[in-house]
């Protein structure tokens, strides 16, 4: 029998013995009057009543020391002969193990080493732990195991809570900023009869009550625009979205964006809006706009650098795609810089491949790259001065796309034609192509004012603001392959 199996067997024995004695090892309630943080701030001699998980246990003669941890901190508790009642001292010694959850009453004291502690006067076992915690010296080191068993990660590496505290604050400050600009927070459907709003492969399901196929949303964009048609001129939503695509350091099948719709505005207005919002959030969280992200000092102070899509490619690769007029020449040019464009059908697709493979990773400081090819945003208005391009921009920071904005196409005839083209691509094997949404076309026929939307990844902003290596570090429960 291995060491872990022995520990589990011994703890199961203790549970059985406690139940035989009429003691419930899984209590219903405890009156936790003080957080551990409050106990740490309490004065000498002050009475406290708190609860948490036992993290250590050290017996030295007639005194036992233990560390008790809750979500606010960690404090030493002391069981001492002639100070702690014998029944509580004996119970703790005999039945309580590292990992158990207990409640204690006592007074604040300082030990001989000067450590702020609770001298226990009463103890209650609240939850008996069966599985041992990871080794206290080596902790939980394996990254995959930490993501898969986040509950253990939070116990053994409580400092990661700071990451999720920053993530929570991002929501707070986005909401604060939006409300200051008279945006109204709304909720739109997650289960949709027709998915749309971007190009992505969806997750499908079935609604048995109506015997119909349904989808988890890939975007909430079309519903926000329906609200603009209905008279909501400024709306936003924190949108959990689901896309059945690859998993890497920037992509998780389930992720969160903040999406906006801004009536009577265009993408130039949203450039200013995006700069102001992100710099506001960064300053609220860090107290400054310049922060360290990996090896770079990144300054989010507005205004940001603005670069056209064509100029961004030309600056990095020396290729001027404005002078290339046919797909064959475009592919040959891309091949010269080792970009595989064999499956590309248009010059725009070639340009997008070149940008994503050779340019985007080189953009470190916050940059607004604008006027993308039409292939990048089928729901955007076409640029009146640049045929083949749309009124759009992406926020690029540290080589990562942080957000996207464009002028929303509100001509129902243009959109009908686009969706016919997209559905033809779907029939030919493009599983990310969008289907037609007849009700949305109907909404546009009622009439939607000129509008610009902005979508920004909450997870990706959290990556930047916590200096994290991947999206899995800023999502409490990232999607993981099943254990073998």
Distance of CA 395 to the CA centre of its chain: 17
CB < 8 Å & 24+ apart, contacts of 210-215:
215/191
Domains located in the chain, CATH noted = 3-133 (2.40.50.140), 159-304+365-473 (3.30.930.10)
- The label of the residue with tokens 């080589």 reads 399
Element (H, E) at 107: strand 101-110
Query: How do residues 232-280 score in pLDDT, each as one tens digit?
Result: 999 999 999 999 999 999 999 999 999 999 999 999 999 999 999 999 9
Nearest to 311 by CA among 298, 303, 320, 302: 320
Average pLDDT over residues 14-22: 97
Tell me the average pLDDT of the chain.
96
Count CB neighbours of 195 within 10 A.
Answer: 23
Q: Sheet holding 191-192: strands in order across? A: 191-192, 212-216, 204-207
pLDDT above 70 as % of the chain: 99
When pLDDT is cut at 50, 70 and 90, the band that residue 140 belongs to is low
pLDDT in tens, 62-75: 999 999 999 999 99
Report residue 482's pLDDT band, with 50, 70 and 90 as the boundaries: confident
Per-residue model confidence (pLDDT) at position 98? 97
Q: What is the pLDDT of residues 327-343, one digit of tens each?
A: 999 999 999 999 999 99
> CA 353 to CA 327: how far, in whole Å?
13
Provide the percentage of residues in the chain whose pLDDT is more than 90: 94
Give the pLDDT confidence score for residue 142 in this predicted structure. 78
pLDDT at position 459: 98
Mean pLDDT of 382-408: 97
Please provide residue 475's backbone torsions phi and psi, each rounded to the nearest 5 degrees.
-110, 125
Structure tokens at 38: 């409050």
pLDDT value of position 137: 47
Confidence label for 228 from pLDDT (cuts 50, 70 and 90): very high
C-alpha to C-alpha distances, 330 to 85, 311, 354, 385, nearest whole angstrom: 84, 16, 10, 22
**Tokens at residue 112, please?**
């001989």
Which residue(s) pair with 206 in the sheet?
213
273-312 as b/e: b if 16+ CB within 10 A: bbbebbbbbbbebeeebebebeeeebebebebeebbbbeb
Q: What is the pLDDT of residues 356-365, one digit of tens each?
A: 999 999 999 9
Q: What pLDDT, on the 0 to 100 scale, is given for residue 484?
A: 73
Mean pLDDT of 106-129: 97
**Which of 81-90, 136-145, 329-338 is the least confident region?**
136-145
Q: Is the pLDDT of residue 136 over 70?
A: no
Residue 245 CB contacts under 8 Å (≥ 6 apart), including other chains: 200, 201, 251, 253, 432
Smallest CA-to-CA distance from 54 within 34, 38, 69 is with 69
Please choose, from the candidates 397, 358, 361, 355, the residue with its C-alpha nearest in 3D space to the C-alpha of residue 376: 355
């Amino acid at each position: 029998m291995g060491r872990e199996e022995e520990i589990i067997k011994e703890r199961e024995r203790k549970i059985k013995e406690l139940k035989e004695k009429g003691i419930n090892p899984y209590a219903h309630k405890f009156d936790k009057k003080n957080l551990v943080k409050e106990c740490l701030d309490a004065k000498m001699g002050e009475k406290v009543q708190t609860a948490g998980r036992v993290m250590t246990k050290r017996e030295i003669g007639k005194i036992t020391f233990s560390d008790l941890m809750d979500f606010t901190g960690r404090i030493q508790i002391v069981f001492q002969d002639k100070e702690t009642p014998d029944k509580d001292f004996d119970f703790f010694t005999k039945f309580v193990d590292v990992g158990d959850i207990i409640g204690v009453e006592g007074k604040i004291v300082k030990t001989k080493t000067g450590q702020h502690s609770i001298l226990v006067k009463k103890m209650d076992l609240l939850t008996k732990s069966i599985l041992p915690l990871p080794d206290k010296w080596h902790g939980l080191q394996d990254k995959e195991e930490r993501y898969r068993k986040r509950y253990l990660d939070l116990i053994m590496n409580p400092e990661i809570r700071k990451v999720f505290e920053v993530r929570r604050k991002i929501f707070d400050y986005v909401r604060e900023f939006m409300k200051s600009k008279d945006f109204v927070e709304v909720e739109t459907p997650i289960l949709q009869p027709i998915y749309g709003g971007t190009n992505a492969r969806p997750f499908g399901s079935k609604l048995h009550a109506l015997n119909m196929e349904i989808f988890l949303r890939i975007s909430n964009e079309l519903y926000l625009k329906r609200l603009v048609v209905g008279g909501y001129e400024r709306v936003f939503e924190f949108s959990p979205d689901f896309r059945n695509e690859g998993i890497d350091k920037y992509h998780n099948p389930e992720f969160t964006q903040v999406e906006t719709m801004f009536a009577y505005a265009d993408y130039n207005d949203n450039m200013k809006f995006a700069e102001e919002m992100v710099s506001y959030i960064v300053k609220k969280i860090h107290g400054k706009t310049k922060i360290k992200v990996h090896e770079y000092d990144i300054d989010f102070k507005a205004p940001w650098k603005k670069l056209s899509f064509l100029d961004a490619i030309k600056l990095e690769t020396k290729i001027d795609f404005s002078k290339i007029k046919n797909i064959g020449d475009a592919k040959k040019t891309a091949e010269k810089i080792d970009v595989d464009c064999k499956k590309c059908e248009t010059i725009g697709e070639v340009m997008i491949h070149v940008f994503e493979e050779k340019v985007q990773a080189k953009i470190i400081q916050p940059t607004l790259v604008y006027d993308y090819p039409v292939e990048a945003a089928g729901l955007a208005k076409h640029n009146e001065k640049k045929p083949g391009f749309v009124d759009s921009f992406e926020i690029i920071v540290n080589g990562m796309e942080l957000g996207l904005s464009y002028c929303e196409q509100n001509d129902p005839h243009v959109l009908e034609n686009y969706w016919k083209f997209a559905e033809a691509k779907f029939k030919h094997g493009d599983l990310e192509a969008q289907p037609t949404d007849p009700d949305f076309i109907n909404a546009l026929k009622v009439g939607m004012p000129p509008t610009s939307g902005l979508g920004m990844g909450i997870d990706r902003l959290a990556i930047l603001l916590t200096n994290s290596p991947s999206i899995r570090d800023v999502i409490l429960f990232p999607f993981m392959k099943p254990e073998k």
